[in-house]
Structure 1
Amino acid sequence: MHVRLPPTLAPAEAARDDAPADAFVFDSGAVVLWGMTWEQERALIDVVRGFARGEPSARAPRSLLSRLFASAPVLAGPEPAVVAKAEQTEAMDWVYRTDGNRTSELRRDVIRVARADEQSDDEVLDRLAFSYALMQTVKLAHVEEQVDTTLDAMRGMSVQLARTGRANFISYVQLNQHIGQVMQLREFNLDSDIVETPDYFWEDSAREEMYQRLHRELEITPRSAMLNRKLSLTQESLQNVNAVIVNVHSTRLEANILYFVAFEACLSAAHLFGFLPEGGLKLLLVDLLYGSGG
């Protein structure tokens, strides 16, 4: 969904010489804002957040946005089916080109937007192309934060295992929960919003280079690879701890079986040599060992 504030509504300090301000709301939950004041940004994000949580006041986002921004048109696009989990914010500088060139570009970490005629959508589409890369980096940053939080919670396990040689610091259920968390985090590889070039550029291949340039600048592919390496190492460590726990349980089970066999052999030998009365004491000892069923 795209919202555009005309120059009469856009703030002078943010609108860059009476230029309109834009907001792109992606159905993944990311919002990319161009040239708005802080108050307008918060108002728009509050609407999106409420809609993501399913609040009744946000079931008609277009009418709410129109009220918030007076006569600002809410342009074509499906209702955003977003899910509110956490808020992640990224910022990047942008300016208008002053050299008369009609092609937007990225130079020295600054997005340089080419001006377009009022009747043309070129400027909006250029901003949209850059916004796709910005959407991907903010989603990836959210995953990175989740991974770091999860790894911090698990970091002490290897230290304790090396120090004590035992895995009694974690239960089997807790270990399986950690393994499940890592598996969930690895599912970001299935999120086409992060790992794939948006389908939009099949229809607008001329602007794909703008997207790709910013995509490379934000190092989205190397960051994804680094996340996978971190998660692979963590999963391997968890599997090693799991192997230790399984080995301990197996050893205990084997020892208990040997104890039961040895105890049964002692009872049989005592009975054989007449040290036990016929059945009585043996039955009592077995009841004490296994627990009375009565």
Structure 2
Amino acid sequence: MSFQFSHKILIHITKKSQIIFGSFRPLSTKIHNINLGTNHFQTTKRLPQINTIFSKYLASSTHDTISSIQLKKRAVRKKKSLEEESPIPGVFHVMAFATAEEYDLENLNKGLKEQDLYESHQIPNDNNVIRAIAKYRVEKEPREIFFFRDGGVILWNITDLESGNILRFLRQYEIDSYSERLIQSESEIMNYIYNKDTEKPSGLDKEGNFLINTCSEVEDLPLIKYTFSNSMLQSVKLGIWEASLQQYIDQIEGITDDLKKGKKIRLSREEVLRKHGELFALRHYLNLSSDILDTPDFYWENEKLENLYNHVCVYFGITKRTRVMNEKINHCVALIELLSHHLGDKHHIRLEWMIIILIMVEVGFEIIHYIDRYVH
């Protein structure tokens, strides 16, 4: 009875495993023959910093032949540079840097008071920014700084030497700092000029310079600079996330190539899960933790500033870059989910084989007992 029962179980499990293997083989064939086309970025945490889980994997991947589909590398947006232009009277520059995920603004404000080089001011109805004005003037045009809680600093009429000192000063108040190389590569530099023509409101001129209308009320001038600064902040933060995603795409380039060639996927389920988490973290930063997808609440009560903010965001291509970045994240998520399902199926098949082997061992013992009992 015991032998017959075990024999029936063996037949049942064998049939079940054949069904599973039958469904697994087409899946494996399908995976190995997928030709994954990838959309890639036009412009730029670390995921904030992307880790190097795939470094060993990429090192072992072979690239003897050129792929029929060459990955398009992220093109760097053309940006203005201080070295490109000689100083022009009446033309000043503003620089934007994203140096961390977040600033400790409260302690930063205390540090500014202790340093006693800048006089700090609050922006009305916004506790997430500090406006600092240099106490000692070098020229008629004041030197102003906007520190945003989101980890960005905007420097108006600040020299390279002074900007370097400010960035070093900021390090002690940063939360999740970016690398120096990333900070410099994703910075923005713009020129700004003053205009007294009442028919030309503050905005952008044909050359792409910030135009500040001095005919505005005195209390509006800091808010105009704040609006320009806010727009630049969105651009540099988006640039940091674009660079992080591009680094992620470069890391998984070898995986797509190996999938196309039908090679073995040498990744653990834990590594794939971790990469999945990085993508969702980046998507969270982009779509939920920032104001990139919507106009900040600050501008709801001031239509002129809202129009100015939206106009500058259009100049930096914020909406288009965000849409492209979300599309790229979707493609990466699809690839990681494919790997996750593939590795999950392999795990299930391994468990089935273990069950079959255990049952075969049990059947073997039953055969030995049967022979020992009835033959002898």
Structure 1 residues 7-18: aligned runs within 5 Å: 9-11=137-139, 18=140
Report the residue type matching 1:2 in the other structure: R
- Residue 85 (str. 1) matches residue 178 (str. 2): yes
Aligned match of 1:209:
307
- Residue 110 (str. 1) matches residue 209 (str. 2): yes
- Residue 174 (str. 1) matches residue 271 (str. 2): yes
Distance apart, 1:233 and its partner CA: 0.8
User: Is the Cα–Cα contact under 8 Å of residues 10 and 35 in structure 1 kept in the other structure?
Assistant: no
- Distance of aligned partners of 1:195 and 1:185 in 2 relative to their CA distance in 1, 3 Å threshold: same
- Number of aligned positions between the proteins: 240
Q: Which has the higher contact order (CA 8 A, sep 6+)?
A: 2
Report the residue type matching 1:9 in the other structure: R
Q: Deviations over 1:202-250 (max 9, x none)?
A: 2332211111101111111111111111111111101111111111111
Counterpart of 2:151 (choices 13, 17, 29) is 29
Distance in 1 (CA, whole Å) between partners of 2:226 and 2:138 is: 18
Q: SS at 1:92's partner residue? A: strand
Distance apart, 1:170 and its partner CA: 0.5
User: Is the Cα–Cα contact under 8 Å of residues 24 and 131 in structure 1 kept in the other structure?
Assistant: yes
- Residue 253 (str. 1) matches residue 314 (str. 2): no
Report the residue type matching 2:281 in the other structure: Q
Structure 1 residues 1-294: aligned runs within 5 Å: 1-5=130-134, 9-11=137-139, 18-52=140-174, 83-86=176-179, 87=183, 88-97=186-195, 99=197, 101=199, 103-108=201-206, 109-116=208-215, 120-167=218-265, 169-188=266-285, 189-274=287-372
TM-score, normalised with respect to structure 1: 0.74
Please report the RMSD computed on the Cα atoms of aligned residues, expressed in angstroms.
Answer: 2.5
Q: SS at 1:36's partner residue? A: coil
Q: SS at 1:274's partner residue? A: helix
Distance apart, 1:103 and its partner CA: 2.1
Report the residue type matching 1:235 in the other structure: V
Distance apart, 1:115 and its partner CA: 2.3
Distance in 2 (CA, whole Å) between partners of 1:150 and 1:114 is: 43
Instruction: Pick the structure with more helix per residue.
Output: 1
- Distance of aligned partners of 1:146 and 1:45 in 2 relative to their CA distance in 1, 3 Å threshold: same
Q: Deviations over 1:69-128 (max 9, x none)?
A: xxxxxxxxxxxxxx53343411122222364646211123221122258x8133222111
Aligned match of 1:60:
none
Worse overlay, 32-41 or 98-107: 98-107
Report the residue type matching 1:31 in the other structure: V
Distance apart, 1:161 and its partner CA: 2.4
- Distance of aligned partners of 1:156 and 1:268 in 2 relative to their CA distance in 1, 3 Å threshold: same
Larger radius of gyration: 1
Distance in 1 (CA, whole Å) between partners of 2:195 and 2:134 is: 20
Q: SS at 2:204's partner residue? A: strand
Q: SS at 1:224's partner residue? A: helix
Distance apart, 1:47 and its partner CA: 2.2
Structure 1 runs not aligned, ≥5 long: 12-17, 54-82, 279-294
Distance in 2 (CA, whole Å) between partners of 1:177 and 1:30 is: 28
Distance apart, 1:165 and its partner CA: 4.5
Worse overlay, 217-226 or 38-47: 38-47
Distance in 1 (CA, whole Å) between partners of 2:165 and 2:354 is: 66
Distance in 2 (CA, whole Å) between partners of 1:123 and 1:116 is: 9
Q: Deviations over 1:1-35 (max 9, x none)?
A: 111247x6144xxxxxx322221111111111111
Distance in 1 (CA, whole Å) between partners of 2:259 and 2:345 is: 14
Report the residue type matching 1:41 in the other structure: S
Distance apart, 1:153 and its partner CA: 1.5
User: Is the Cα–Cα contact under 8 Å of residues 2 and 24 in structure 1 kept in the other structure?
Assistant: yes
Q: Deviations over 1:36-76 (max 9, x none)?
A: 111222222222222226xxxxxxxxxxxxxxxxxxxxxxx
Report the residue type matching 1:30 in the other structure: G
Distance in 1 (CA, whole Å) between partners of 2:168 and 2:315 is: 30
Q: Deviations over 1:267-288 (max 9, x none)?
A: 212321239999xxxxxxxxxx
